[in-house]
Structure 1
């Protein structure tokens, strides 16, 4: 019997989507019975829809890592999903710093939703704060490991190995990671918001890609809600009009770009 393969993901800049898509398509070619179904819950309207699966489904679920955890703004939606005995693989994608407790947290959330989580993977993508840190990733080497991950999942299913997967992480989970100032004191950058340059053309790209729906359609320089620092408005602006100027944010960004140049590799479970 083949499985219905589903992609389930949040991906503001496309890096998480790239890995989830690669794994899902590879699995569909091996054990799938139809085209891959896509559930992209990056934008707010999609998180208002109900989402449920069943015993003939295999779900490849992916989220980015924010401060070492599953983004807290996604918890309500993820907890609303119904697995109903479906199989799942949990994927987290981080920007070459650390995924800390994000993978074990995602595994637990999916298990609580009624999924049998049989595999987990932590992959690397270009950091949301930077165009330098993990630039161009996931790359071909990462995608090759995504293919391997799909093969391992297929083999587990073939041999009936559907017990919950063991992954790295702590329970209880660690607190969300906080950057530090020059005196090594924690700083809070949660309320930092992007600024808009005068060369903004009001093309509305930023309005349309903001996963929180927080950029005003009347004036793209105005934020009407929270900013999660996902990088979508900055990286997708066609004229480079969006930017951050907060000193603590920029210090943290520079420290990572300078100190985290060693390439980290995906981990598969």
Structure 2
């Protein structure tokens, strides 16, 4: 197929998904002789738009995995905010070293329902949004090398296709999609942190960066210590605060964070799917 336009499309609160999606798009573009256009729908204003694509487009589409799936508050926009128009798409997910569970196959299915034709898929690892030690500094150089190789193979495959595939790309996961992962304590009781919100220390200088970076628009511009909106625990305000003033102190949140850090300290490796 003749690929006419190339896109890097992503939601990326802390930058890990963006790093991988752009790396894949740029690598594919080098093979195809195309510069990737960017659609970053991380911030609320971007999710007020509708994005349409068409035959001849190749879209690298990335989201993070929360609790083993596409984030529940993001999923409705991914379902309604994009029209594939017969474009080729590559679902890409980033997860924090535990497992991507059904996140990749859910994203693949959603893109297919949006009118895209998926031709490949990938799951990469990024530093966990709850932690500075779990998958610290990933994606790293080893991950980027995998992304580069995948990008070349993807571009060659897309260019060699005689027509858009009639079947979705094969990726790992269960279909029907399983419920969101639920953390549990040592007695087997669910650990519910849905309503937990970040706190603000006296180090805050009210620069407003957390307000600007919050993907949910949840932080009060007049008082950054006030979080009246929904918090998805994405880590943007904590990891991007120049003064380190944002933090979580909820007992259940910290329990879950430490369980993840202790139980999933091994190095998980990226998985790519081109079949």
- Same fold, judged at TM 0.5 (above): yes
What corresponds to 1:200 in structure 2?
A: 204
Q: Which secondary structure state, in structure 2, belongs to the residue aligned with residue 73 of structure 1?
A: coil
Cα deviation 1:100-134 (Å, max 9, x = unaligned) = 00000000000000000001000000000000000
- Structure 1 window deviating more from structure 2 (180-189 vs 45-54): it is 180-189
Contact 1:2 1:32 (C-alpha < 8 Å) held by counterparts: no
1:58, distance to aligned residue in structure 2 (A): 0.4
Contact 1:4 1:32 (C-alpha < 8 Å) held by counterparts: no
What corresponds to 1:155 in structure 2?
A: 156
Contact 1:200 1:239 (C-alpha < 8 Å) held by counterparts: yes
Structure 2 distance, partners of 1:209, 1:230, is 11
1:159, distance to aligned residue in structure 2 (A): 2.7
Q: Which secondary structure state, in structure 1, belongs to the residue aligned with residue 7 of structure 2?
A: strand
Q: Which secondary structure state, in structure 2, belongs to the residue aligned with residue 63 of structure 1?
A: strand
Contact 2:121 2:169 (C-alpha < 8 Å) held by counterparts: yes
1:260, distance to aligned residue in structure 2 (A): 1.1
What corresponds to 1:210 in structure 2?
A: 214
Contact 2:3 2:58 (C-alpha < 8 Å) held by counterparts: no
What corresponds to 2:194 in structure 1?
A: 190
What corresponds to 1:123 in structure 2?
A: 124
Contact 2:62 2:93 (C-alpha < 8 Å) held by counterparts: yes
Structure 1 distance, partners of 2:220, 2:33, is 42
1:75, distance to aligned residue in structure 2 (A): 1.6
Structure 1 distance, partners of 2:83, 2:153, is 25
1:261, distance to aligned residue in structure 2 (A): 1.2
Structure 2 distance, partners of 1:199, 1:14, is 24
Does 2:226 align with 1:222?
Answer: yes
Structure 2 distance, partners of 1:242, 1:183, is 30
The number of residues matched between the two structures is 268
Q: Which secondary structure state, in structure 2, belongs to the residue aligned with residue 6 of structure 1?
A: strand
When the two chains are superposed, the root-mean-square deviation of aligned CA atoms in Å is 1.1
What corresponds to 2:250 in structure 1?
A: 246
What corresponds to 1:181 in structure 2?
A: 185
TM-score (norm 2): 0.95
Structure 1 distance, partners of 2:127, 2:76, is 26
TM-score (norm 1): 0.97
Structure 2 distance, partners of 1:97, 1:193, is 22
Structure 1 runs not aligned, ≥5 long? none
1:89, distance to aligned residue in structure 2 (A): 0.5
Structure 2 distance, partners of 1:204, 1:155, is 44
